[in-house]
Chain A
Amino acid sequence: MSGIFQSSIGRKLVMSITGLFLVLFLLFHMSMNLVAAFSGPAYNAVCEFLGTNWYALAATAVLALGFVFHIIYAFILTIRNRKARGNNSYAVTAKPKNVEWASQNMLVLGIIVVVGIGLHLAHFWYKMMFAELAGMENQFGATDGAAWITYWFGQPAVAAVYVVWLVALWFHLTHGFWSAIQTLGWNNNIWIERWECISKIFATVVCAGFIIVVLGFALGIFPMFNSPVCGA
């Protein structure tokens, strides 16, 4: 293991593993949001379950750490890459065919995603988990996630910002997902195209899941049922 993280591939490994971890989180988060589309109380039940118990807190801390590493390494890598490129840039550049736009703009996309996350944390996490931990009080209370969703996404400007954010996330994921696999070395001539395809499908499913919820609430379609589905 000696010095693995000082090597270029080692640094990419950090990006890869933290990235895949965040991808898993997104999948989970998206599934959870879909619950809100059906029923507010059901969603709140999930929120409550994930409230302030220690497992959830520990998971949140790990998640935050993953984010932090992913972001820090993104900057480290970018600085190194800029340096490797040299001081003189090309007068004329052309994007070759088969090169995805996203792949060459991961940092910019990443920054948009991070800004979005900041906004999102302020909108929800600060009002819910943080409020609960800090014992703060606010208009809907820390566990009524459904109310917060309805409140925020009901504002067209907020919903629009969320959609932009999620589109950036889509681009980031289409490249990030297969790139993470490639960095781990799980790739070959046949699987390259497959992973790229899977990557696009996955990004589309995740981002579509998020966007449906945002738009559904913005347009007043969601939640589809106002009482818990199971009648609990």
Chain B
Amino acid sequence: MAEKNITVTLRVWRQANAKAKGEFKDYKVTSTTDTSFLETLDILNEDLVSKGEEPITFDHDCREGICGMCSLYINGHPHGPATLATTCQLYMRRFKDGEVITVEPWRSAAFPVIKDLMVDRNAFDKIQQAGGYVSFNCGGAQDANAIPIPKEKADLAMDAATCVGCGACVAACKNGSAMLFVSAKVSQFALLPQGKAEAARRAKAMVAKMDELGFGNCTNTRACEAECPKGISISNIARLNREFLVAKLKD
């Protein structure tokens, strides 16, 4: 399809800092259908700077859908209307000329707003620190092919490990639950022989940290899975439940 100009109204959440009260502001911006959504925000920001106003703050980095830095709740969807794509992979051809596009930050008690559309996702790091690793020191590894791992298991582990830690699952969940994120990491290691040894300890520690940080409880609505830019399945949540319950029952 040929590239066309497109003018939209961006209704953007502006909030000066964590403590300030935020509000929506409308901005008209002209972009093209082949331009990405974030580039359209760049265009708007250039425009704001030229008027002497402060540009909109939003998280973004790799702009190719892998770093997990970009967020944004666009027209009611984390990462916007495209499926299996992050905000940085969203192109303006998805929108109609003249459309009003509402852009909000992730909303979750565990992800407080830092400024405008930027939120603090440090809670995810803390959960990983609680147990998202194999306890193993560099230098002591055996040969990489010493333990064969069935392809199916390796592929399942890979599917789980694809999580980019963007937080869309929490943003999408009406309960603000981080179960999809936690289950993806627990699953990756539970499926591999390397992670088996401390699987029980890991599941307990990560769930405990998740609870402590104020994430909600999973009620299996599947919204996380539907909005996950990497298509992480909730079968991982079932696996986490299993790992956790078995571990707890053994205690």
Q: Which chain B residues numbered 89 to 111 have a C-beta less than 8 Å away from chain A?
A: 102, 104, 107-110
Task: Tell me the minimal C-beta distance from A105 to chain B in angstroms.
Answer: 10
Task: Tell me the minimal C-beta distance from B13 to chain A in angstroms.
Answer: 8
> CB of A52 within 8 A of chain B?
no
Q: Which chain B residues numbered 132 to 171 have a C-beta less than 8 Å away from chain A?
A: none
| Residue in chain A with minimal CB distance to B228 | A96
Verify A7–B244 contact, CB threshold 8 A: yes
> CB of B194 within 8 A of chain A?
no
Give the bracket for the number of chain A residues in contact with chain B.
Answer: 35 or more
Verify B221–A103 contact, CB threshold 8 A: yes
Verify A88–B107 contact, CB threshold 8 A: yes
Verify B208–A85 contact, CB threshold 8 A: no
- Residues of A near B246 (CB, < 8 A) are 185
Complex CA gap A139/B24 in Å reads 64
Contacts across chains A and B counted by CB atoms under 8 Å:
153
> CB of A221 within 8 A of chain B?
no
Verify A9–B241 contact, CB threshold 8 A: yes
- Residues of B near A4 (CB, < 8 A) are 245, 248-249, 251
Contact pattern, A 76-93, Cβ under 8 Å of B = 1, otherwise 0: 010011011111111111
Complex CA gap A2/B174 in Å reads 29
Of the candidate stretches A37-45, A54-62, A143-151, A175-183, the one touching chain B is A175-183
> CB of A47 within 8 A of chain B?
no
Task: Tell me the minimal C-beta distance from A110 to chain B in angstroms.
Answer: 11
Verify B107–A103 contact, CB threshold 8 A: no
- Residues of A near B102 (CB, < 8 A) are 91-92
Verify A192–B176 contact, CB threshold 8 A: no
Complex CA gap A6/B210 in Å reads 13
Known: A4-B248, A9-B244, A183-B241. Is A94-B76 also a contact (CB below 8 A)?
Answer: yes
- Residues of B near A31 (CB, < 8 A) are none
Contact pattern, B 174-188, Cβ under 8 Å of A = 1, otherwise 0: 111101000000000
Q: Which chain A residues numbered 61 to 82 have a C-beta less than 8 Å away from chain B?
A: 77, 80-81
Verify B216–A85 contact, CB threshold 8 A: yes
- Residues of B near A1 (CB, < 8 A) are 248-249, 251
Interface size on B, residues (CB 8 A): 52
- Residues of B near A192 (CB, < 8 A) are 233-235, 238
Among candidates B211, B214, B218, B227, residue contacting A96 with C-beta atoms closer than 8 Å: B227
| Residue in chain B with minimal CB distance to A103 | B221
Complex CA gap A176/B220 in Å reads 9
> CB of A99 within 8 A of chain B?
yes
> CB of A53 within 8 A of chain B?
no
Verify A103–B175 contact, CB threshold 8 A: no
- Residues of A near B225 (CB, < 8 A) are 98
> CB of B201 within 8 A of chain A?
no
- Residues of B near A89 (CB, < 8 A) are 107
Q: Which chain A residues numbered 159 to 203 have a C-beta less than 8 Å away from chain B?
A: 175, 178-179, 182-189, 192
Complex CA gap A6/B76 in Å reads 33
Verify A84–B109 contact, CB threshold 8 A: yes
Of the candidate stretches A10-18, A21-29, A112-120, A128-136, the one touching chain B is A10-18
Verify A86–B176 contact, CB threshold 8 A: yes
Verify B235–A188 contact, CB threshold 8 A: yes
Verify A85–B104 contact, CB threshold 8 A: no
> CB of A155 within 8 A of chain B?
no
Contact pattern, B 204-230, Cβ under 8 Å of A = 1, otherwise 0: 000110110011111111110111000
Verify B226–A97 contact, CB threshold 8 A: yes
Complex CA gap A98/B220 in Å reads 12
- Residues of B near A92 (CB, < 8 A) are 75-76, 102, 104
Residues of A within 8 A of B (CB): 1-4, 6-13, 77, 80-81, 83-100, 103-104, 106, 175, 178-179, 182-189, 192
27 contacts between A and B (CB under 8 A): A4-B245, A7-B211, A7-B244, A8-B179, A8-B215, A13-B245, A77-B217, A80-B216, A81-B216, A83-B216, A84-B108, A84-B109, A84-B175, A85-B174, A85-B176, A88-B22, A94-B77, A99-B221, A99-B226, A179-B219, A182-B234, A183-B218, A185-B240, A185-B243, A186-B238, A188-B238, A192-B238
